[in-house]
Amino acid sequence: MTDAVTGEIVRNYLESVAAEMVRTMVRTAVSPIFNEAHDCSAGVFGYDGETVSLLARADAAPVHIYAALSSAEASLEFFQGDLHEGDVIIVCDPYYGGSHLPDYTVVTPIFIEGEPMFLPSVRGHMPDNGGPAPGGNMNARDIWQEGFRFSPLKLYERGELREDVWEWILRNNRLPENLRADLDAQIGGCRVGARRIRELCDKYGVATVREAVDWLMGYSEHRFREQIRRWPDGRYEAESTLDSDFAGGVDLKVRVALTIDGDSIEADFTGSSPQSPGLVNSVPANTLAFLYTAFSALCPEIPINSGFFRPLTPKLPEASIVNPNPPAPVRAATVTIVADIGDVVMKAAEGFAADRVGTCSIDLLGPWFWGTDRRNGRGYLHYELGCTPTAAGGVYLADGWGAWPATFASADVPSIEMSEVQYPVLYRQAEYLTDGAAPGQWRGTPAWATQRQAYGSDGTHHTIRVQGCYSPLHGFCGGRPAIGNYVVIRYGTPDEEVVPRWSDREPCGEDEIVFFQSGGGGGWGDSLDRDAEMVAEDVRDGYVSPEGARHDYGVCVDPVTGDVDEPATAAERARLREERREQPDWMSLGRLRTLEDVGADAAHQADPEPAAR
């Protein structure tokens, strides 16, 4: 049995290995989605002859690293009896170890004493994965219409490059040069991990490393069970709503009941909507990724590995939006229904861990643009990640910070300047919105406004996906929800059009501007309990207007001096407390403005399915 000191040395070593792997990927990849936005992650997995386990991870966007566990499992299952030193495996099929088609997972088995013992893995979201439309087919009604789908494959076998497999994959991609370079970057990350893990085994011996792996997973399990025992036994339920399935369906439900019994938790998603004809269905690997994400956020002091998952028992009803049957389409699930999965688990946790809950998901505002760059005559495909950075919510004792919530903080917002160099694009606005923060005793991050213009591009088209306009990210413990997302195409012209759900393959003229509002995360706690001076500071910083301070917080701020009128504030807060007892679902000023902009009467209209183009 290993001692705690050795166990901690091995645990920290493996985490540093994962970090070095993903840094290798980021520094050698050519696509901005990796070297700028870091939409990738790395993990070290272990294999004991029967079970694959997550041991360490880095830059771990939830949908990548937790779902990568199923990819590592699928690799070993598919090639059982046919794994060799020097093999490099790639996985993408959502129904065979993946989460959605663009996430390519590269896995390299490390043989110790003749048997596969470790599996370093790097996972990344590829800008294109073939199929009928650049960047993704919004009209897909089954998995085959979404893009190029393949089961686990060997890119290298016994150290030899599989030219036939590489050529097959590259021929099914619109950006083959980028794809080859990015896959090489993933493989390089795995090779760095393999080298470091061999050095660990050489230094401490295989037996010691095996014992340390058992210890670190047992330690996390023990710590998590201890935490669960501190929470009161009971059944805690919540519900969340997804605006649209992009196929005509609206108001899709995710329901969860968390049952705490001693030192274990059952998460039952019974009652969630049936699987959808649209591409928002979440395969189990994807669903479990956000169940685990929520609990890892509730327990940030506990190391995350497969031992942490053992006290959790999921129940995922078949043929539902959280566990679809093939060939249901799934492409957008990683940024749509998963927001509701993470959010609903957090909402249910209000009942037993109120001081730990907060926004742990992102809400989709996902456009991409394509055309021909006039500077070089080459086709391009640009995922516009800079328009959707704000989803961080307030938590107990802290306002929402930065861009994405902590569980997504490994991702970066691409720099505007670099985007303008790399793509034919010009940005007219990129800033926080006044009154855009969800009110609470601890407020969310303010909403983000972007104006983007295609510039120097021929044949430009865009596809826009929006969620969280009508059912934005939750607030917690009395905090208000986020103000919501929406887009305006042909912005500022007589033909401008608000897009609250989606717009597919629209032509975009060079002079046209597209406006985006990214609605932020939820607030925490009653906004009337927020320190009045903190509200005044937000007014002085431009986050809140004097009108918003009064409406949302009951704080009267002199618009000239920025000082709080304390007697007027006391009277206004007393009035609002009485009013809100009658109207507990009151809306913030920013939320009211969003609904005014998009048209509140459209909130529950069916989403018309456009004709295929």
- Which uninterrupted H or E stretch holds 517? strand 513-518
What span, in angstroms and rounded, lies between the C-alpha atoms of 312 and 298? 13
- DSSP annotation of 115: E
Closest CA to 281 of 258, 252, 257: 252
As a 3-state breakdown, the chain gives helix, strand, coil percent values, each rounded to 5, of 35, 25, 40
Going by C-beta distance under 8 Å and a sequence separation of 6 or more, which residues neighbour residue 104?
Answer: 90, 91, 92, 123, 124, 126, 129, 183, 186
Mean pLDDT estimate for the chain: 94
Q: What is the pLDDT of residue 612?
A: 33
Q: What is the pLDDT of residue 609?
A: 44
Kindly report, residue by residue over 137-152, the tens digit of the pLDDT: 999 999 999 999 999 9
pLDDT grade for 602, boundaries at 50, 70 and 90? very low
Q: How distant, in Å, are the alpha carbons of 492, 514, 543, 597 from that of 498?
A: 11, 10, 24, 8
500: cis peptide before it, omega within 30°?
no
Overall average pLDDT of the 29-44 stretch: 93
- DSSP annotation of 400: -
> Is 90 exceeded by the pLDDT of residue 2?
no
> Is 60 exceeded by the pLDDT of residue 440?
yes
Q: Quote the pTM value.
A: 0.95
> Is 60 exceeded by the pLDDT of residue 601?
no
Overall average pLDDT of the 108-122 stretch: 96
Tell me the three state secondary structure of residue 362: coil
Say if residues 148 and 131 touch (Cβ distance below 8 Å): yes
Overall average pLDDT of the 507-519 stretch: 94
What span, in angstroms and rounded, lies between the C-alpha atoms of 359 and 392? 6
> Is 70 exceeded by the pLDDT of residue 390?
yes
Say if residues 349 and 474 touch (Cβ distance below 8 Å): no
List the structure tokens of 85.
């030193």
β-bridge partners, 450: 430, 516
Q: What is the pLDDT of residue 60?
A: 63
Hey, where are the domains in the chain?
4-221
Kindly report, residue by residue over 543-593, the tens digit of the pLDDT: 999 999 999 999 999 999 999 999 999 999 999 999 999 999 999 999 999
